[in-house]
Structure formats: C-alpha cells, structure tokens
Amino acid sequence: MRIHALTTGSVSLKHAFLHPREGVRRQLDLFLPGEWSARLPIHCWAIEHEDRVLLVDTGESATARDIPFARFHVTTADELPAALSAAGLSIDDVSEVILTHHHGDHVDGLSRVRARARMGEAEFAFIDLPFSRFMRRALRQPLPPGFAPERLSFDDGAFGAFPRSANLSTDGRIVAVETPGHTPGHLSVICVDDAGNHVHPTPRCTSRRSG
C-alpha cells in the first residue's frame, strides 16, 4: 500500500476560524476583520492498493472564490491532475473517489475525474437542507458542475470503536467510517498500512466550520 498526500494549492485562514471562541462570537468573528494565517496546503489523498488508486477527496480548483474567512491560492497548475502527476500518478489511474463531505475544498476537483465517486449517505440529506443551500449561495461556493456522487452506505459491521463501516478494498485494509461533526454526514477513511498500523488519510477542511 502506498499513501500519497496531494496538495491542490493553499489557503490563508482567519485566526478566528482556526482558533474559534465559544458562543456567538464563534460565528461572528469569522466575518469581522482579524488576523490571517500563513498559507496552508489544501490536501487530498491517493491510496495505491490492490492495483487500484483510491482518492480521498479531490482538492480545490482555480474557480474557488475567497470568502470572509478564507483566501484561496489555487491556479489551474495546482489542480488535481497536476497534484497527481507530482506523485507519479495520472487522473486516468484513479479507480474510485471517496468524498469525506461536500465542501468545495474537498469536492471541487471532482469535475476533473471520470471514475466513480461515492459520499456518505447522511451527507446527501444535509446538502439539501435550506441552511446548506443558503450557505452555498451566501458564500458563493456552489457544488461543482455535474456533482453527482453515489451513496456510500455503512453495511460492513464494526471497525474498532466505530459501530458501522464500509469496506473500500477487498482485503478490508481500507475502510470508511462515520465521523459526524464538521458536517452531519462527514466520513473518515482508515487504512491498515503494510506495517499493520492504522493511519488516517482524511483531509482537514479549510472552507467552512459548518454548513
């Protein structure tokens, strides 16, 4: 198994996003003037295993618009095809995409991929909520063109502390588990690497704390 961290550009984030206060200030501070971080990489992951390449998220694209608490630095030369190329892979090598959740810095690269894509079943209901629709309009972060992943259901029993899981490889060494919080339908991917360690190639979200 080989696990590659791919970088699709970078983002500067307001300190209020990275270090939120409690209560109403948590949301309010995002929209008030404040300090900004240095540029942080926008990651996604590629896992080579069983003669397949599984992508966990697809990174950001050059179409990303700045929002009140995030400034994106992504050119077309930073997008998924180039990020895969830097790891010695090609967009045509991708066998399948697993999306952790629906935010733009995780799904905007999907329009470049022809392979099957799946997202956790609970995220679909969340995407359609009026609150989610409002946030996408208000922050000018639409879903990417042709966004139509399939539903990933968690029918493969417990994995460690997680009551349900979804096998993503035939040998059970790559699984998805439900990790609601950042969004209600968020999932994480766990790999059992060649040394038997459990590793967790799941990109941190840089676009929104909720919504």
If one asks whether residue 187 binds Zn ion (CB under 5 A), the answer comes out as no
- Which DSSP symbol is given to 185? T
The yes or no reply on residue 205 touching Zn ion (CB under 5 A) is yes
Q: Is 103 in the site for Zn ion (CB under 5 A)?
A: yes
* DSSP letter assigned to residue 143: P
Residue 97 β-bridge partners = 55, 117
Residue whose CB is less far from Zn ion, 81 or 104: 104
Our finding on whether 4 is near Zn ion (CB under 5 A) is no
Nearest residue to Zn ion, scored by beta-carbon proximity:
205
**Which are the contacts of 171, defined by CB distance < 8 A and separation ≥ 6?**
50
- Is 54 or 107 the residue whose CB approaches Zn ion more closely? 107
Asked if residue 159 lies in contact with residue 190, where contact means CB atoms within 8 angstroms, the answer is yes
In whole angstroms, how close is the CB of 119 to Zn ion at the nearest point? Answer: 12
Nearer residue to Zn ion within complex by CB, 165 or 183: 183
Query: Which of 191, 186, 7 is CA-nearest to residue 109?
Result: 7
Closest separation in Å from C-beta 51 to Zn ion: 31
**If you write DSSP's letter for every residue of 42-62 in order, what string do you get?**
EEEEEEEETTEEEEE-----T
Which one of 127-135, 140-148, 159-167, 198-206 is the stretch in contact with Zn ion (CB under 5 A)? 198-206
Query: Using CB under 5 A as the criterion, which residues of the chain lie in contact with Zn ion when the complex forms?
Result: 103, 205
